[in-house]
Amino acid sequence: MLKSHRFEVFLFFGALTFAFNGVVAKLVLEAGLDTWRLTEIRCTGAFVIMFAVVLARKAKSLLITRDELPLLLAFGVIGIAAVQIFYFVAIARLHVSIGLIIEFTAPIWIALWLRFVMKKEVSKLMWWGLSLGFVGLMMVAQVWKGLTLNGIGVIAAFIDAFALAGYFLLGERLGKKKDSDVMMVWGLGVASVLFAIAFPWWSYPFHIFTQKMDLHGRFAGHMWSGWILILWVVVMGTIVPYFCVISGLKGLSAAKSSVIGMLEPILAGVFGWWWLNEAFTGIQLVGAFVVLVGIYLADRAKTTS
């Protein structure tokens, strides 16, 4: 049973680790590290580790053809760097819930791309799953509490949604040709170069690694060194979830995978409630259930040529 649903398990665990990483990253950000610098060390650290592992195990797999290069560059620029950059731009100008809702319209754009550009038939069950998932996310995010919209923020959030859609579509296509770890090395490597150009390493606040950080919430008063939390963000918050999502894309379509990704905001809310004592209301619980129903329907749907 578990083996037959291993790709769904990969995607679920990816959403789980991405969500938990949100709590750990929040602790680092509250300790004073800028969001851009955290993203930079996250991408670069993950790239260095993955490159060393792949180089030691199967160095020849890092070689690519001329036809593969544009896709791998696009995966790094769009699927990794752009998703993170435009998300930060969006939530800096919008209520976080609004930014998340717009970002997670990505499954809808994927379905529209498949139907009207790729000329594939998208089943009614998939559309129902998408609709329920989106409505459930609106309930979880309680969007009615943050309806003040900023033009630049809205544009950035939609670009982020398109980039997230590109991440799943490119990941699905590349997954048929390259191993998950090789895709990660190239994607994270491209993103790391972009961040290094925008934010040179000679000005990085390296003191953050030795700074003591409060764990807050139920662990308030416990202090850990910055390098421990940052290492978690790099390994368990970047390498593991990206590997899981890319591995899941090898067996499921981009449309189904992106819908399962809707679990991330729900799980993030659960972790925020458990660790940071953030409120989780009744309407959010109902919304979470609606999202789960939507994911179930989308997972049962078939997308055929």
Q: Is the CB of residue 250 less than 8 Å from the CB of residue 124?
A: no
pLDDT above 50 for 240: yes
What distance in Å separates the CA atoms of residue 100 and residue 48, rounded to the nearest whole number?
A: 29
**pTM, rounded to two decimals:** 0.90
Contacts 24+ apart (CB under 8 A), 51-59: 51/185, 51/189, 53/181, 54/181, 54/182, 54/185, 58/179
Tens digit of each residue's pLDDT (9 = 90 or more) over 195-227? 999 999 999 999 999 999 999 999 999 999 999
Which of 112-116, 181-185, 274-278 holds the top average pLDDT? 181-185
Tokens linked to 107: 């499954």
What distance in Å separates the CA atoms of residue 84 and residue 234, rounded to the nearest whole number?
A: 14
Tens digit of each residue's pLDDT (9 = 90 or more) over 61-111? 999 999 899 999 999 999 999 998 998 888 778 766 677 788 888 999 999
Tokens linked to 222: 């416990």
